[in-house]
Amino acid sequence: MSFPVTRMRRLRRTEALRSLVRETHLHPGALIYPLFICSGEGVRKEISSMPGIFNLSIDEAVKEAESVAALGVGGLLLFGLPAEKDEQGTGAWADDGIVQTALKEFKKNRKLDSLVQIADVCLCEYTSHGHCGVVARDGDHYEVENDSSVALLAKTAASLAAAGADIIAPSDMMDGRVAAMRAALDAGGQQLIPILSYASKFASAFYGPFREAADSAPQFGDRRSYQMDGANLREAMREIEQDLAEGADMVLMKPAMPYLDVIRAARERFDVPIGAYQVSGEYAMLHAAFQRGWLEQERAMMESLLSIRRAGADFIVTYFAKDAAALLG
Ligand SMILES: [Zn+2]
């Protein structure tokens, strides 16, 4: 049937009609809020390029997490800023590490029971050089070693699970880390802790503000020898396939908005839960436009999240989680 029998506008006439035929929905339980936890007490330091996002000491992080839980947000993704860094990133797997200590606090607090507490696993926040693994140097040349990094990452995963993490989320992009983490978790009696692997993580300019937030900018070189080339969709599918074969329970893809086609391709190909990370630069650029009055804040925020859901993400890690959850009610 074509016009005039078919008139597409009939179903757009009122909000009630539009609501009835809406294909994609957002809900607070499918949003994950990242937290950047630092040492000290009473620390609440705003990140200049990310309005409303803070480095929080554990006492402040507990308050923030309580407000996140009260809004019905599904979970937290935890990053740590240790007081001290070293070549190997030993703070990442220390029993009294910053995220381990925070997790133990969070787990004592019944108001946080509704939040899935996800621990990011990487070394870059903990290494003095800011790379995601062990660096071997030879004069001017350097290499981020794979297998020695994987051993440390696996130790980190086991330590975070022992401290109470509900999900382990490796973001380092070393080869073979998922299998090593699964083995380390199982050996530590954590057979029921799932792995959410950042399977398709592209080397992206959109991570810029995060590096301030997590104090994790590489001191030399860049991350292109381990994170993926932004031009490659087929390679992303291979990365996901590999991680699933190694035992990943879910996958996370990042960034989100510049890679919606990759999320869609993954959705069509894999039947595991897929998360997408709307990264710091996506948040920062929208906020820059909000500040200038160039975009309408609430509508642009919700449209950005909806686009990621529509592309096929089951859940979204986003700095907008609190604002969006408050709007969704
Ligand atoms: Zn890293």
- Of 108, 111, 155, 254, the catalytic one is 254
Query: Can you give the pLDDT at residue 118?
Result: 98
Backbone φ and ψ of 271, nearest 5°: -100, 20
Q: Could you confirm whether 201 is annotated as catalytic?
A: yes
Give the three-class secondary structure for 120: strand
- Residue 143 is encoded by which pair of tokens? 């290499």
The amino acid sitting at 68 is V
Query: Can you give the pLDDT at residue 59?
Result: 98
For each of the chain's 329 residues, which pLDDT tens digit applies? 999 999 999 999 999 999 999 999 999 999 999 999 999 999 999 999 999 999 999 999 999 999 999 999 999 999 999 999 999 999 999 999 999 999 999 999 999 999 999 999 999 999 999 999 999 999 889 999 999 999 999 999 999 999 999 999 999 999 999 999 999 999 999 999 999 999 999 999 999 999 888 888 899 999 999 999 999 999 999 999 999 999 999 999 999 999 999 999 999 999 999 999 999 999 999 999 999 999 999 999 999 999 999 999 999 999 999 999 999 98
- Residue 112: DSSP 8-state: G
Output the CA 33–ligand 1 centroid distance in Å.
18
- Residue with the two structure tokens 């929208």: 286
Listed as own residue / partner, the contacts of 300-304 with beta carbons closer than 8 Å and 24 or more positions apart are 302/26, 302/327, 304/257, 304/278
- Residue 214 is encoded by which pair of tokens? 């997590």
Output the CA 87–ligand 1 centroid distance in Å.
14
| C-alpha–C-alpha distance, residues 60 and 66, integer Å | 10
What's the chain's Rg over C-alpha atoms? 20
Q: Could you confirm whether 254 is annotated as catalytic?
A: yes
Give the three-class secondary structure for 132: coil
- Residue with the two structure tokens 């994790």: 216
Query: Can you give the pLDDT at residue 215?
Result: 87
Beta-carbon contacts of residue 223 (< 8 Å; ≥ 6 apart)? 131, 132, 173, 203
- Of 85, 104, 108, 201, the catalytic one is 201
Beta-carbon contacts of residue 147 (< 8 Å; ≥ 6 apart)? 176
- Residue 46 is encoded by which pair of tokens? 């705003």
- The answer to whether 98 and 38 have CB atoms below 8 angstroms apart is yes
Task: Enter the pTM of the model.
Answer: 0.97
- Residue with the two structure tokens 């990053």: 79
- Residue with the two structure tokens 């040349």: 141
Output the CA 204–ligand 1 centroid distance in Å.
13
Closest CA to 197 of 131, 142, 251, 277: 251
In angstroms, the first-to-last Cα distance of the chain is 40
Query: Can you give the pLDDT at residue 230?
Result: 97
Output the CA 173–ligand 1 centroid distance in Å.
8
Beta-carbon contacts of residue 279 (< 8 Å; ≥ 6 apart)? 204, 206, 207, 210, 254, 255, 256
Query: Can you give the pLDDT at residue 9?
Result: 97
